[in-house]
Structure 1
Amino acid sequence: MKEINKVSIIGLGALGVMFGHHLSKKMSSEHLRIVADPERVQKYQNNEIYCNGERCQFNYITSEDEDDPADLVIFAVKYSGLEDAMESVRNQIGDETIILSALNGVTSESIIGEKFGMDRVLYCVAQGMDTVKAGNKVIYSNMGMLCFGDKEPGEPSEKVQTVARFFDNTDFPYEIDTNMKKRQWGKFMVNVGVNQTVAVYKSNYGEIQQEGPARTMMIAAMREVMALTEVEGTKLSVEDLAYWLKVLGTLSPHGKPSMAQDVEAKRHSEVELFSGTVLKLGKKYGVPTPINQELYNRITTIEKDY
Structure 2
Amino acid sequence: MTIKTVSIVGLGALGILFGHHLSKRMPKGSLRIVADKGRVEKYRNEHVYCNGKRCDFHFITPEEIVEPADLVLFTVKNEGLNDAIHAVRNHIGKNTIILSALNGITSEAVIGETYGMDKILYCVAQGMDAVKVKNELTYENMGMLCFGERNAEMNSEKVQAVAAFFDEMSVPYEVVPDMYKHLWSKFMLNVGVNQTVAVHESNYGEIQKAGKARDMMIAAMREVMLLSEKEGIPLTEEDIDYWLEVLSKLSPEGKPSMAQDVEAKRYSEVELFSGTVLKMGEKHGVSTPVNKEFYERIKAIESNYN
Q: TM-score when scaled to structure 1?
A: 0.99
Q: CA deviation at 1:278?
A: 0.2
Q: State the match for 2:59 in structure 1.
A: 60
Q: State the match for 2:94 in structure 1.
A: 95
The answer as to whether partners of 1:149 and 1:156 remain within 8 angstroms in 2 is no
Name the amino acid aligned to 1:71: D
Spell out the pairing of 1:112-131 with structure 2 (5 A cutoff): 112-131=111-130
Unaligned runs of 5+ in 2: none
Q: State the match for 2:189 in structure 1.
A: 190
SS of the residue aligned with 1:30? coil
Q: State the match for 2:151 in structure 1.
A: 152
Instruction: Indicate yes or no: 2:300 matched with 1:301.
Output: yes
Distance 1:48 1:228 in 2: 43
Q: CA deviation at 1:154?
A: 3.0
Distance 2:255 2:140 in 1: 12
Q: Deviations over 1:158-213 (max 9, x none)?
A: 10010000000000000001101110111000000000000000000000000011
The answer as to whether partners of 1:156 and 1:178 remain within 8 angstroms in 2 is no
Distance 2:21 2:70 in 1: 18
The answer as to whether partners of 1:11 and 1:36 remain within 8 angstroms in 2 is yes
SS of the residue aligned with 1:142? coil
SS of the residue aligned with 2:210? coil
Distance 1:55 1:240 in 2: 38
Distance 1:259 1:12 in 2: 16
Superposed CA RMSD:
0.6
Q: State the match for 2:166 in structure 1.
A: 167
The answer as to whether partners of 1:99 and 1:122 remain within 8 angstroms in 2 is yes
Spell out the pairing of 1:15-30 with structure 2 (5 A cutoff): 15-30=14-29
Distance 2:148 2:168 in 1: 18
Q: CA deviation at 1:230?
A: 1.0
The answer as to whether partners of 2:123 and 2:183 remain within 8 angstroms in 1 is yes
Distance 1:154 1:178 in 2: 7
Distance 2:152 2:99 in 1: 17
The answer as to whether partners of 1:8 and 1:92 remain within 8 angstroms in 2 is yes
* Total equivalences in the alignment: 305
Q: State the match for 1:83 in structure 2.
A: 82
Name the amino acid aligned to 1:16: G
Distance 2:60 2:274 in 1: 36
Instruction: Indicate yes or no: 2:104 matched with 1:105.
Output: yes
Q: State the match for 2:213 in structure 1.
A: 214
Name the amino acid aligned to 2:260: Q
Name the amino acid aligned to 2:97: I
Q: Deviations over 1:278-304 (max 9, x none)?
A: 000000001110000000000000000
Name the amino acid aligned to 1:139: T
Distance 2:82 2:154 in 1: 32
The answer as to whether partners of 2:154 and 2:175 remain within 8 angstroms in 1 is no
SS of the residue aligned with 1:103? coil
Distance 1:45 1:154 in 2: 42
The answer as to whether partners of 1:150 and 1:156 remain within 8 angstroms in 2 is no
- After TM superposition, where is structure 1 displaced by more than 4 Å over at least 4 residues in a row? none
Name the amino acid aligned to 2:175: I
Distance 1:155 1:209 in 2: 33
Distance 2:267 2:203 in 1: 18
Q: Deviations over 1:91-112 (max 9, x none)?
A: 0001110000000000000000
Name the amino acid aligned to 1:3: T
SS of the residue aligned with 2:29? helix
Q: State the match for 2:201 in structure 1.
A: 202
The answer as to whether partners of 2:148 and 2:154 remain within 8 angstroms in 1 is no
Q: CA deviation at 1:37?
A: 1.0
Q: TM-score when scaled to structure 2?
A: 0.99
Q: State the identity %.
A: 65
